[in-house]
Amino acid sequence: MCENRIAGLFVKEKAQLLKRISRFTDIRKNPQIKLTHIVLSVLLMPFYSLQSLLSLDRVSRRSEFKKYFNCTRKMVASDSTISRALHWLDPQQLQRFQCSSLPLFEQQQLSRIQLVPKGPYRRIGILDGSQMAQHHLVALCLAGKTDYPVMVLQAPCRGKELPTAKRIVQQAAKLLGSSFPELFVLDSLYFNKPCFELLRGHEAHVLIKCEQPSFREVLADAKYLFDNKEQVVTPVIEKRGFDPLRLCAWSMEIASGDYAGHPLQIAHLVEDYLKRKTNQHVECWIVTTDLDLLPEEIREAAHLRWHIENNLFKRLSHHTATKRFYFKDPNAFFALLRLFCAAIALLDIVIQILKRDEPAFKGLLNGIKETWKNVFSQLEQAIEANIFA
């Protein structure tokens, strides 16, 4: 029953996936290999942990890989064929393809998340920069019930993350429509007036996590208030709790403030992790323009900041070695990266759909640990032959 359901889900989504891939413009005059097969081969790279196009070349010669495409040639597509295609694929079409699973993301109610039980559902976005394959970039990830990397843009060089982030926000406001985040979770690099003005101008709230109160005067003022709260009349909200998931006791002090003309909640968060051997005591400062966020929600949103690091950058680096790739042409690398982002987003959505039938999902895992690679290895057995033919 589990395999029938999985196969049915793949057949249904396969039709939509092939339709989306067919929208790519093929500039070749007499193609011997379908562009659909080239793109699909790249999409499968993260799932097989293939860390170079040469590795994909070797796998594409195997009968178990060729069966998906009903391929009778000696290989599905060579590394040189894929490399050439990556150079001429249209960047705008790739960007639209990267976002093409958003309707499914929304339909399956994965785009919004509750920060605390019984709390309101919120659309949350995370912006951050990274360096991969000698290229600097900025990515926007939607943090819902699963994480969806919807946009990736090249930054000209180190130190140009903020202008690139501005371009991403402006393009996302046009491209995402109703899926545009209501709250952006950012690091201290974005703690500046232009960033606040940009996001508030798009009716989105800002939440920024900082390490030191000396970073901005408004934080230093809040620290003075917290240190002398017995002598001042300004109200300070205090909250304590225990996080059973992370096994840490936490406390938070919150005061009101103002930055760049925007009213803020300013929080000082202290966490003590009981089972850590190192870094047991952690402190940070959090500011947000969303005055409706509860202390528990502020803390949970600040933890979401790490999702883009752990669930996107590190995952891609681990499975596809994006840190070690080398592409002199940035267009080819960003074509590859956008296809990887589209692939992991679609697999995460499929996994979330399958997990709703808990007995069937346990049967799929068959006792192995629920990791991204293990789930895909089990899904392989349920995928019918010739599914991409």
Residue 373 lies in a domain: yes
Name the one residue in this structure whose structure tokens are 């300004």: 234
pLDDT in tens, 69-83: 888 889 999 999 999
Per DSSP, the residues of 222-236 read HHHHHHTTTT--S--
Contact status, residue 137 vs residue 168, Cβ threshold 8 Å: no
Residue 389 lies in a domain: no
∠ Cα 284 289 293 (to 5°): 75
Contacts of residue 257, defined as CB under 8 A and 6 or more positions apart, other chains included, come to 218, 221, 222, 263, 264, 265, 266, 287
Residue 367 lies in a domain: yes
For residue 197, count other CB atoms closer than 10 A to its CB. Answer: 12
Using a pLDDT cut of 90, give the percent of the chain over it: 62
Q: What are phi and psi of 326, to 5 degrees?
A: -130, 120
Region 343-347 average pLDDT: 89
pLDDT in tens, 151-179: 999 998 888 899 999 999 999 999 999 99
Residue 219 lies in a domain: no
pLDDT in tens, 190-228: 999 999 999 999 999 999 999 999 989 999 999 999 999
Closest to 318 in 3D by CA, of 154, 62, 132: 132
Average pLDDT, the chain: 89
CA-CA distances (angstroms) from residue 207 to 204, 215, 266, 334? Answer: 10, 15, 10, 28
> Residue 292 is which amino acid?
D
Angstrom distance (rounded) from CA 364 to CA 297 = 34
CA-CA distances (angstroms) from residue 199 to 180, 206, 259, 307? Answer: 11, 7, 14, 20
Residue 305 lies in a domain: no
pLDDT tier, 145 (very low <50, low <70, confident <90, very high otherwise): very high
Residue 370 lies in a domain: yes
Number of structural domains, the chain?
Answer: 1
Residue 23 lies in a domain: yes
pLDDT in tens, 31-65: 989 999 999 999 988 888 888 999 999 999 998 88
Residue 371 lies in a domain: yes
What residue numbers bound the domain in which 360 lies?
2-101+331-382
Least confident of 1-15, 105-119, 254-268: 1-15
